[in-house]
A and B are shown apart, each in its own frame.
Chain A
Amino acid sequence: MISGTIVVASEICKGCELCIASCPQQSLGLSSSINHKGYRFAQLVQDNCTGCTNCALVCPDSAITVYREKKTAKRAPQMVIASHAA
């Protein structure tokens, strides 16, 4: 499974829950605390985000940045050795 993560701009989020409904992994939920606008904000509640970007695409406040493990990340050490040898 590809691993990813998101960062929510918690002071921008309005707690609309559209991202929560659009997440195929059920990775998202609302915080128990509130931000300065008075909204509970979206956050990861499970360790299974794939970085699919669904949540960010439907967020009306563009509050979500999505990260994904680099495709080459797992092979990276080998590639480093190869480049040293060359």
Chain B
Amino acid sequence: MNSTVNEQMEVVYHKPQTLTDTPMHYCPGCGHGVVHRVLMEVIDEMGIAERTVGVAPVGCSVFAYHYMNVDMQEAAHGRASAVATGVRRVLPDKFVFSYQGDGDLAAIGTGETIHTINRGENILMVFVNNGIYGMTGGQMAPTSLCGMVTSTSPYGRDAAQVGHPLKITEMIAQLPGAYFVARHSVHTPSAVRKLKKAFKASFEAQKEKKGTCFIEVVSNCPSGWKMTPNESNAWMEQHMFPHFPPGDIKVPASMK
């Protein structure tokens, strides 16, 4: 195997500096790790690590502050965008992001989510939607698909009983405070590159105080979905994407 690195070779990709060396606790193949890395890569490339404050959620990504080497604040379940509001208002020159799962952002935190965006807070909201409560053992989330089997919907989600999978991203895009809204994924190299551009555009918009940037990442939960990581990505494409299609949802003229 030509696996030796010699002096004719140069590094073309390495882990971002702002991601710590702490081994991540996520299950093998979990999308959270990729989203963390892409976010830190953008912060590295923009040189804003010293001026960035992140807010971590309750959910599997509760320990995001162990992995992201920027100032971080933990929030109560669902309240990350409210805490991020406070941080950004007190420290208006900082770059501020919140990071939340679907159970956190679209269930217990729905109120905070809507009102933060309605106020047009100058923050980036990162929303990792894996259609399930990963952390607590794979319970049904507001975003679980119709017919999706979870530990609390053993016969599959029944919309007649519990409603339809919530498209909160399309909903909040209607609010005037929402400046840039897009849905991405991290399951292929090209998807990862697109997400990176969206994060970068969001931090750029924060400089101009344009309003809330909201980036959903449709992601996987191999453990909660009871699949291998590669199976989970295939399932995501086949089942999640028709309901949560990746793409831009609201793009200001200045970004086009």
Q: Are B8 and A18 neighbours in the complex by a CB distance under 8 Å?
A: no
- State how many angstroms separate the Cβ of A75 from the closest Cβ of chain B: 11
Asked if B34 lies at the interface with its beta carbon under 8 angstroms from chain A, I say yes
Q: How far is the CA of A44 from the CA of B2 in the complex (A)?
A: 8
Q: Are B11 and A58 neighbours in the complex by a CB distance under 8 Å?
A: no
Known: A5-B5, A58-B188. Contact between A51 and B12, CB under 8 A? yes
Known: A3-B2, A14-B28, A58-B34. Contact between A64 and B187, CB under 8 A? no
- State how many angstroms separate the Cβ of B20 from the closest Cβ of chain A: 10
Known: A18-B230, A67-B10. Contact between A39 and B28, CB under 8 A? yes
- State how many angstroms separate the Cβ of B101 from the closest Cβ of chain A: 15
Q: Are A15 and B12 neighbours in the complex by a CB distance under 8 Å?
A: no
Asked if B63 lies at the interface with its beta carbon under 8 angstroms from chain A, I say no
Q: How far is the CA of A67 from the CA of B9 in the complex (A)?
A: 6
Nearest residue, chain A, Cβ from B35? A60
Asked if B217 lies at the interface with its beta carbon under 8 angstroms from chain A, I say no
A6 contacts across to B, CB distance below 8 A: 3
Q: Are B233 and A18 neighbours in the complex by a CB distance under 8 Å?
A: yes
Interface string of A7-48 (1 = CB under 8 A from B): 100001011111001100000000000000001000111110
Q: How far is the CA of A58 from the CA of B1 in the complex (A)?
A: 22
Known: A60-B31, A68-B10. Contact between A5 and B2, CB under 8 A? yes
- State how many angstroms separate the Cβ of A77 from the closest Cβ of chain B: 11
Nearest residue, chain B, Cβ from A51? B12
Q: How far is the CA of A53 from the CA of B196 in the complex (A)?
A: 15
B142 contacts across to A, CB distance below 8 A: none
Among candidates B9, B28, B229, residue contacting A4 with C-beta atoms closer than 8 Å: B9
- State how many angstroms separate the Cβ of B135 from the closest Cβ of chain A: 16
Q: Are B23 and A61 neighbours in the complex by a CB distance under 8 Å?
A: yes
Q: Are A62 and B9 neighbours in the complex by a CB distance under 8 Å?
A: no
Interface residues of B in 1-54 (CB under 8 A from A): 1-5, 8-16, 19, 23-24, 26-34, 37
A39 contacts across to B, CB distance below 8 A: 28
- State how many angstroms separate the Cβ of B187 from the closest Cβ of chain A: 7
A57 contacts across to B, CB distance below 8 A: 13, 189, 192-193
A66 contacts across to B, CB distance below 8 A: 11-14
Q: Are B9 and A60 neighbours in the complex by a CB distance under 8 Å?
A: no
In the complex, which of the residues A6, A61, A69 has the most CB atoms of chain B within 10 Å of its own CB atom?
A61
Q: Are B187 and A68 neighbours in the complex by a CB distance under 8 Å?
A: no
Asked if B152 lies at the interface with its beta carbon under 8 angstroms from chain A, I say no
B5 contacts across to A, CB distance below 8 A: 5, 7, 67
User: Given A61-B23, A73-B9, list of 20 further CB < 8 A pairs?
Assistant: A5-B3, A6-B3, A7-B5, A14-B28, A14-B29, A16-B229, A17-B230, A18-B233, A21-B233, A22-B188, A46-B1, A56-B13, A57-B189, A60-B34, A62-B16, A65-B13, A65-B15, A66-B11, A68-B9, A69-B8
